[in-house]
Copies of this chain bind each other. A is one copy, B any other.
Amino acid sequence: MPTAVLLLSCPDQAGVVHGVAEFVLGFEGNIVHAEQHIDVESGVFFQRVEFDVPGLTAERLATSFAPVAERFRMTVQARMAADRPRIALLASTQPHCLTDLLARWRSRELPAEIAVVVSNHEEHAALAEFHRVPFRYLPVSPDTKDDQERALLATLAEHGVELVVLARYMQILSTRVLDAYRCRIINIHHSFLPAFVGARPYHQAQQRGVKLIGATAHYATAELDEGPIIAQDVTPVSHRDSVQDMIRKGRDLETVVLARAVRAHVEHRTLVYGNKTIVFG
């Protein structure tokens, strides 16, 4: 049976859970997952509710739920669980995240559509072609950056992209793009943020002599490497690991952490508040 997902937030107040449950019951629906969180400091209530209802659509869901949302002053996203967001993958030279996400999609593990691959390096064309995904080559130079961003935005629009994944894309996006896809651009940074922001984090890590290296997936914002964190992981290193070893070990981290974040997003399990995320289980 198709299931619907509500992702909502509102001022914390008695009766919200009841209000949502009543709404579902009105459709003779059954709640199959429900998770909630209260941010005590700010007094905000967050909830993800997944329920099965015969014959519902996202539009009808949103319309029907509007009175409940209004009553509790909710911000709400309404989705059908089976909706598969359309993704653009952006990559520079390194192929590991790109390869991995395409393979997860091909094996039907990733509940999304990969609509287009964009790169400032032409050599990924073959990989995209192998997966029968449109490829757009958009080389970037200081002079052409502005034009290329326009071309990028056109490409995203043309392919109906709802989520942009920076799969080791080493170009900094302007606010024009960031604003157009607010909370819908996921970047992978190759350190356990907030340690080692900026360039060459593995070099910084080796320099500092840390015993763990990490990777962080976050929503991209205008402040570089400062956006809301979605997923992080680390792996041990030692004095024996050169920068090259760290780069190699880090690739496995980057791949897995980015995939985990993308999965959480396309399963409608993430909510952003302030500069943080709630990632429901």
Taking Cβ atoms with an 8 Å cutoff, the residues of A that contact B are 12-18, 21-22, 24-25, 28-40, 95-96, 99-100, 103, 107, 109, 126, 130, 192-196, 208-212, 214, 228-234, 238-240, 242, 248, 251-252, 256, 259, 274-279, 281
CB proximity of A272 to chain B, nearest CB, Å = 10
Q: List 7 A-B contacts (CB under 8 A).
A: A17-B21, A35-B35, A39-B239, A209-B228, A209-B277, A212-B233, A214-B234
Residues in B whose Cβ lies below 8 Å from that of A30? 12-14
Residues in B whose Cβ lies below 8 Å from that of A195? 192-195
Residues in B whose Cβ lies below 8 Å from that of A126? 130
Question: Given A24-B18, A25-B15, A229–B211 Cβ distance below 8 Å?
Answer: yes
Residues in B whose Cβ lies below 8 Å from that of A39? 239
Complexed CA–CA distance, A58 and B13 (Å): 23
Q: Are A36 and B34 in contact (CB under 8 A)?
A: yes
User: Which residue of B33, B100, B194, B248 contacts A109 across the interface (Cβ within 8 Å)?
Assistant: B248
Q: Are B239 and A37 in contact (CB under 8 A)?
A: yes
Complexed CA–CA distance, A242 and B32 (Å): 14
Residues in B whose Cβ lies below 8 Å from that of A17? 17, 21, 24, 31, 34
Complexed CA–CA distance, A231 and B212 (Å): 9
Residue of B nearest to A27 (CB): B14
Complexed CA–CA distance, A233 and B86 (Å): 33
Complexed CA–CA distance, A15 and B251 (Å): 37
Residue of B nearest to A234 (CB): B234
Residues in B whose Cβ lies below 8 Å from that of A196? 194
User: Which residue of B14, B33, B34, B232 contacts A210 across the interface (Cβ within 8 Å)?
Assistant: B232
Residues in B whose Cβ lies below 8 Å from that of A276? 208-209, 239
Residues in B whose Cβ lies below 8 Å from that of A107? 95-96
Q: Are A194 and B208 in contact (CB under 8 A)?
A: yes
The 6 A-B residue pairs with the shortest CB-CB distance, nearest first, are: A209-B276, A18-B21, A195-B195, A211-B232, A239-B278, A17-B21
Question: Given A95-B107, A211-B229, A281–B281 Cβ distance below 8 Å?
Answer: yes
Residues in B whose Cβ lies below 8 Å from that of A14? 25, 28-30
CB proximity of A61 to chain B, nearest CB, Å = 17
Question: Given A95-B107, A194-B208, A33–B31 Cβ distance below 8 Å?
Answer: no
Complexed CA–CA distance, A16 and B192 (Å): 38
Residues in B whose Cβ lies below 8 Å from that of A36? 31, 33-34
